[in-house]
Structures are given as C-alpha cells and as structure tokens.
C-alpha cells in the first residue's frame, strides 16, 4: 500500500524494474512498479515519497500528462524524480532538457549505477519529501487554527511579526523593570567602539537626555581622578575574565556619587566583541550602611563601656571601701595590712582588665621576637597542665617542620592559656584538650575577609571535647565582655584578648564549634624568615633590686600632679635625687643646665607640642650619654604616632615601686650593687 515513504518505479526495459525494487526493499524502502507512463501518472495522486524512472520513458506523448500533473502540485509539494540516464558523450538536446526541467525536483543518476549510489539518492529524496509533508502539516494546522493563511510565506511573516512584538514587549518590560529598580543599562561594541545606553543611565550621570558617547568613555569620563586607574584596570581585567564588577565614585551634576557597575563580556571565536551590563547609583545605600555601621559601632561602644564600668565599679568598690576603712581606723596594723592587700589585689585586677582591653583593641605594647612556637609550648607545658587540672588530659601534637613566627612570647603564652582555661571550663566532668601546631600555606580563598595576605602560616590550635557552642554564641564569641559563664566566673575578655593578640601579630583566628561536639580555636601566624631571637628565659632575667648610688639623679617629667607626687615618693624611697618638670619645655631647661642628670624618666603623652619620645631625642642630642625611660598607660600605636624608637624602653602604667626600681636598674646596667628595700 502506497504511503508517504513509498517509491514508484518505472523501468519497463528488461529486468531493470525488478532489480531496482530488490535493491530498495533490501534497504527497507517500500516500493512498487508501473508498466508505463500513463499508469505512473494515474498513481501520482496518492501520497508518495519519490519516483524512480528511466530517462527513455520520458520521451513520448504521454509525458505531457506527467507535466500537467506536476504543474498542478500544491505549493508545498515538489515530488522528487530520480532519473536513471544513459551514458552520453555530449549534452542533451534542448527538447530533452526541457522535459527534465518541467519535472522540477530531479536527481540524475547515470547508468550503470551501483546499489549504494541508488540507495543514497533515494534517502536524500525521501528526506526532502518528508520535509514537504511536514510543511503540508504545518500549513494545514495553520489553516485550521489560525486565520486560514493562503500561503506558507504569509504564515512565516505572521510568525516573524508575532516574535517581533514579543521581543518589543520583553524589551519594554525590561526597560520598565530597570527603570523601576533605578538601574541604567549600557552596551559597548568592542569592535567598533560604539556605545548604547538607557535614559536612566544618563540620569545617574546627571543628564536629562540620552547623549552620544563612544566606548568606555560613557563611564570613564565621569569617574573621579582618584578612582580612574582602578576602573580602567577593572575594564581591562573584564576582557580576560568575562565579568565586570566594581564600585567607584563619579562626578554627576557637580556632586560626587557612588555607583556600582556590573557587566558581562561576549566572545566570538574567543575574541571579545561586546560588553554590556547595568549601573546603579549606590550613594543612598552607602549612606544608609554608614549610618547603620555608625549605629552598630555606638552600640558596641555602649556595650564595651557598660562592661568596663561594671567591672571597674566592682574593683573600685573594693578599693574605696578598703581605703575608707583604713582612713577611719588606721591604728590596727593587722587590719591595715589586710585591707591594703585587698585594695592592691583589686587594683591589679583592674590593671589586668585594661591589658585585656588593650589586647582586644590591638593597643597593647608588644615585644615581638622570632621564636619557635613548639619550644614556647613545651616550656609552657607544666603551667598548661596546672591550668587544665587533674581531670583533663592534655595532648601536644607538634609539627616538627614548623616555621618560626614573630610574636610577643608572653602574649602568646597568655593567649594559649586563655584557650586552655576556656576548654577546661567546657568540660566540667573532665576530658581531653589537644594542642596542635602545623606549618601550612593559606591561599587567597583561605584568608578571604581576614585582612591578611595569603602565604606561609603556622597554625596553633586548641581543641576540646566539651559542650560546644550554639551558632548564636559562636557569632558573638569575640565580643568584649560577652560570656556564657556564671556571674563572677569570667570577664568575657579572654577570647577578645586572643583575637586582638592574633591580629596584632599579623595573623587571624578561626573557631569551629557545635553543641555537644566540642570546640576548636585555630590561631594563624605568618611564618617568619628572620633568624630566631636569642631570648633569655624569663626566670633568668630577674635582676636583684638596688637603691640609688650617691648622687644619682632622675629628671622626672609628668603633667599629672597625682602621678607626679607618687613617682617622686617612689624614687625618693629608692634614694634617687629627683628633679621635676611638668612638660618638655621645663625639662629642656634642666637639660641645658649644668646639674647632674643620670636618667630622663618621662611620660609619653604630654601637653605643649612635644611628647616624651621627641623629648628623649632632643635630650640625647644635648647629653649623648643620658639614659632614658618612658612611661605611659596607653602605648600601642605610639611607636609610629609618637616616634618611640626600639631603643627607648617603656614602663607600662600602672607600675609598682619594685617594677620601677628593676627597670631603672636595667637601664643603668648595674646588676652588682644591691641592697634591701
């Protein structure tokens, strides 16, 4: 039965028809034979795939009916004819060529042909015929469901028109959405340097109408001078990466505004040809963020101030109460000693509190050395074990290939001790604490958001098997005065101090914790390339105290009267002769005189335009052999801000007489003469 894939065969000479039929059937092609051209023409009104006919059948009177049928084919139909021609030496006659031309869709195969060539031609013809039937189906569907289109061309035009309308609607929707979101669009042809942009784009740049611009100048011409180099670099980098994402400042309508630019690059044959994206005015958002940041900062300051006030009021209660009772009844020596000791203990707690606050804010005075962290931890092991307690198993896993780091050893030990104490408190029923060191390299992704550079680092971690922390607690763990311990069990400054110390050392801190699964705190310090410091252990640095030798004179420079009076009394008890100045100008007058001065002991921050460090430089210019000791209650950052050199020792406030005496003795270089104090 004939169908859309059926092949009619007309080859009346000899066995040609049967041979062709056999070849096609072997190729799974349905086919049938006709006796003559008349019977062939009669069967053409059925759906057919193609016709295979020998050329000699076309040169008779019956071919006219075949041409007539072909002329009446519908617009979608162009029945393929595979003509088997005889081999000829010249060209066809005009009459023969006209016969073939009137058939239309003709494939000529010169005999003799092989089966493969015939099958190939048949498949090509059937493929083309299938598309014709598909076109017919499409036309019929359009006639039934649409507006009874009269031709395929008009249907295509309607489809194009509809698509154009869709694109215009989509464009209008996008333009409306961008305008509603206050986004301007831009498009740069990287080949011709032509540029297009939306009206809102011009409004962002302070214009009320679209202007003609070329290439990157649509943006770069408005960028302020301070940001232009960075913006040009971002555009150049986008050509390689395919993405543009930057924030910069522009001058628009005589005002400086912040904008955000995002874009994407398109490539053809790996060559960039187009860059397009959006621009948004972010000035208001930045102002809002700045206001929020300021509000959060004030809230943090309020929390910090409240915590400081709470703790110091507790300490002052002890100090004031003890001194009040001493003043009212100073006659009982045992009671006086007990109350004085209570006041001193509270004062020393206040000193530790200020040191913790300075450590958190990275304002403490550090004495960095290049050290092996493994050695520090091993020397610290006995103290760590006592701090952990008998119920805690302390493990050390130290990397033997560790790099040196540059830190303040005392602050390093204090930070690790804080972590050990926190780990111990998280395991009230006992457990295990692991202290680990590891040399590693941190990539850019590892240090994102840490404000440090990638490279070689040393990790020191303290991990426990304790109760762990919730995600809410974890977010606040480094806040000063934040604690989950019971009242009186912790100040809330331990981890804040650890954080500040790590940042001061050029490193950073990461903490991982989960309720019920313990906590691990990892400190990361930059590896140092400097040689190890030949530091003498703390136990061997103690120097016997001494009183002043006859005539040893100290020039004391202090602007606070109460501190001045206390310092004078302490120095005189040590048998020093004391000269007093309340500012640098008075001190220089003494230094320019002829009186003996062995040590300049000066506060760092003073009124009058010259600080203690500057005074020390001028004093040594006047008296090159003069010894200098500086003191301050807030010294971090003053190395740069106030010019404190590495050769100028600093005594932290508050200090006791013994600490002052020992520092003076070290400065004088006298460790042999000593007496009881």
Q: Coil, strand, or helix at residue 490?
A: coil
Residue 604 pLDDT: 87
User: Confidence band (pLDDT; 50, 70, 90) for 50?
Assistant: very high
Q: Report d(CA 57, CA 13) in Å as an integer.
A: 9
Q: Is 583 left (phi over 0), alpha (psi -120 to 50) or beta?
A: beta
- Structure token digits, residue 481: 């005065």
Residue 362 pLDDT: 46
Q: pLDDT tens for residues 339-394?
A: 777 777 767 666 666 665 555 454 555 568 889 999 988 887 888 888 888 888 88
Residue 503 pLDDT: 84
Q: pLDDT tens for residues 107-145?
A: 999 888 889 999 999 999 999 989 998 988 888 888 777
Higher pLDDT, 188 or 332: 188
Mean pLDDT of all residues in 167-192 = 74
Q: pLDDT tens for residues 451-465?
A: 788 899 999 999 998
Residue 460 pLDDT: 93
Q: Which residues contact 273 (CB under 8 A, 6 or more apart)?
A: 189, 190, 191, 266, 267
Q: Report d(CA 308, CA 305) in Å as an integer.
A: 5
Phi, psi of 225 (to 5 degrees): -60, -35
Q: pLDDT tens for residues 199-250?
A: 777 788 777 766 666 667 777 888 888 888 888 888 888 888 989 888 888 8
Residue 540 pLDDT: 39
CA-based nearest residue to 674, from 658, 653, 654 = 658
Residue 645 pLDDT: 55
pTM given for the model: 0.43
Identify whether the C-beta of residue 509 lies closer than 8 Å to the C-beta of residue 478: yes
Strand-strand pairing, 553-557 and 599-603: parallel
Higher pLDDT, 669 or 604: 604
The yes-or-no verdict on residue 436 having pLDDT over 70 is yes
User: Confidence band (pLDDT; 50, 70, 90) for 580?
Assistant: very high
Q: Coil, strand, or helix at residue 237?
A: helix
Residue 492 pLDDT: 52
Higher pLDDT, 287 or 311: 287
Identify whether the C-beta of residue 142 lies closer than 8 Å to the C-beta of residue 135: no
User: Confidence band (pLDDT; 50, 70, 90) for 152?
Assistant: low
**Is the peptide bond preceding residue 654 cis, with omega within 30 degrees of 0?**
yes
Measure Cα distances from 568 to 14, 350, 553, 563, 564 in Å.
138, 23, 12, 9, 6
CB atoms within 10 A of CB 609: 9
The yes-or-no verdict on residue 674 having pLDDT over 70 is no
DSSP state of 582: S
Residue 573 pLDDT: 86
Residue 637 pLDDT: 47
Q: Can you spell out the DSSP letters for 444-458?
A: TGGGTTTT---EEEE
The yes-or-no verdict on residue 487 having pLDDT over 50 is no
Residue 119 pLDDT: 92
Question: Degrees (nearest 5) of the Cα angle 154, 158, 160?
Answer: 115
Buried-state track 255-267, b at ≥16 Cβ within 10 A, e below 16? eebbbbbebebee
Cα atoms in the 13 Å half-sphere on the side-chain side of 402: 24
Q: pLDDT tens for residues 529-575?
A: 888 876 544 433 444 565 677 788 999 999 888 888 888 888 888 88
Question: Above pLDDT 90, what percent of the chain?
Answer: 20
The yes-or-no verdict on residue 104 having pLDDT over 70 is yes
CA-based nearest residue to 119, from 64, 180, 52, 170 = 52
CA-based nearest residue to 519, from 381, 391, 422, 377 = 422
User: What strands, in cross-sheet order, belong to the sheet with 577-581?
Assistant: 577-581, 553-557, 599-603, 627-632, 650-652
DSSP state of 45: G
Which of 60-69, 405-414, 646-655 has the least mean pLDDT? 646-655
In the beta sheet, which residues pair with residue 520? 463, 512
The yes-or-no verdict on residue 484 having pLDDT over 70 is no
Residue 80 pLDDT: 93
Mean pLDDT of all residues in 172-177 = 68
- Structure token digits, residue 482: 């934040």
User: Confidence band (pLDDT; 50, 70, 90) for 296?
Assistant: low
Residue 523 pLDDT: 92
Dihedral sign (CA 444, 445, 449, 452) = negative
């Amino acid at each position: 039965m004939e169908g859309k894939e059926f092949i009619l065969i007309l080859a009346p000479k000899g066995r040609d028809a049967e041979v062709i039929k056999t070849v096609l059937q072997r190729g799974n092609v349905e086919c049938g034979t006709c006796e003559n051209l008349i019977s062939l023409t009669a069967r053409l009104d059925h759906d057919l795939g193609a016709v295979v006919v020998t050329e000699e059948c076309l040169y008779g009177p019956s071919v006219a009916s075949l041409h007539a049928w072909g002329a009446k084919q519908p617009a979608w139909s162009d029945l393929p004819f595979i003509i088997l021609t005889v081999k000829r030496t010249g060209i066809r006659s005009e009459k023969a060529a006209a016969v073939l031309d009137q058939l239309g869709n003709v494939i000529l195969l010169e005999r003799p042909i092989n089966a493969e060539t015939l099958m190939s031609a048949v498949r090509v013809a059937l493929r083309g015929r299938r598309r014709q039937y598909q076109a017919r189906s499409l036309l019929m569907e359009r006639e039934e469901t649409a507006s009874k289109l009269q031709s395929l061309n008009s249907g295509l035009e309607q489809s194009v028109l509809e698509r154009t309308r869709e694109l215009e609607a989509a464009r209008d929707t996008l333009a409306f959405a961008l305008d509603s979101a206050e986004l301007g669009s831009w498009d740069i042809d990287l080949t011709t340097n032509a540029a297009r942009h939306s009206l809102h784009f011009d409004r962002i740049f302070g214009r009320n109408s679209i202007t003609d611009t070329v290439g990157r100048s649509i943006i770069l011409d408005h960028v302020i001078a301070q940001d232009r180099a960075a913006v040009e670099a971002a555009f150049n980098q986008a050509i390689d990466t395919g993405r543009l994402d930057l924030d910069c400042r522009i001058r628009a309508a005589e005002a400086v505004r912040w904008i955000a630019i995002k874009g994407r690059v398109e490539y053809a044959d790996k060559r960039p040809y187009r860059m397009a994206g959006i621009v948004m005015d972010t000035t208001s958002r930045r102002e809002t963020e700045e206001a929020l940041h300021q509000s959060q900062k004030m809230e943090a300051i309020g929390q910090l101030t409240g915590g400081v006030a709470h703790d110091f009021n507790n300490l002052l209660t002890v100090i004031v109460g003890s001194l009040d009772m001493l003043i009212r009844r100073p006659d009982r020596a045992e009671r006086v000693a007990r109350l004085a000791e209570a006041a001193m203990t509270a004062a020393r707690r206040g000193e530790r509190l200020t040191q913790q606050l300075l450590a958190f804010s990275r304002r403490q005075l550090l004495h960095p050395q290049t050290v092996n962290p493994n050695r520090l931890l091993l020397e610290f092991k006995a103290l760590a074990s006592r701090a952990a307690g008998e119920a805690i198993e302390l493990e050390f896993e130290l990397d033997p290939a560790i790099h040196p780091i540059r830190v303040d050893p005392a602050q390093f030990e204090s930070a690790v001790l804080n972590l050990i104490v926190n780990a111990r408190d998280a395991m009230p029923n006992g457990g295990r604490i692991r202290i680990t060191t590891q040399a590693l390299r941190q990539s850019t992704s590892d240090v994102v958001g840490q404000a440090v550079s990638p490279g070689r680092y040393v990790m020191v971690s303290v991990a426990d098997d304790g109760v762990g922390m919730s995600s809410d607690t974890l977010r606040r763990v480094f806040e000063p005065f934040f604690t989950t311990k019971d009242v009186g069990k912790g100040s809330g400054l331990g981890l804040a101090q650890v954080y500040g110390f790590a940042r001061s050392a050029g490193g950073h801190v990461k903490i991982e914790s989960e309720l019920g699964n313990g906590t691990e705190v990892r400190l990361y310090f930059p590896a140092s390339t400097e040689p190890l410091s030949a530091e003498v252990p703390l136990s061997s640095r103690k120097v016997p105290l001494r009183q002043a030798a006859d005539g040893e004179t100290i020039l004391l420079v202090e602007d606070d009267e109460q501190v001045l009076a206390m310092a004078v009394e302490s120095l005189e008890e040590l048998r020093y002769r004391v000269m007093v100045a309340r500012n640098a100008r008075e001190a220089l007058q003494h230094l320019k005189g002829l009186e003996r001065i062995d040590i300049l002991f000066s506060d760092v921050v003073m009124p009058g335009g010259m600080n203690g460090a500057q005074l020390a430089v001028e004093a040594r210019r006047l008296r090159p052999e003069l010894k200098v000791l500086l003191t301050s209650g807030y010294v971090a950052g003053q190395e740069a801000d106030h010019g404190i050199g590495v050769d100028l020792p600093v005594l932290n406030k508050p200090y006791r007489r013994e600490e002052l005496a020992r520092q003076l003795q070290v400065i004088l270089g006298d460790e042999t003469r000593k007496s009881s104090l």
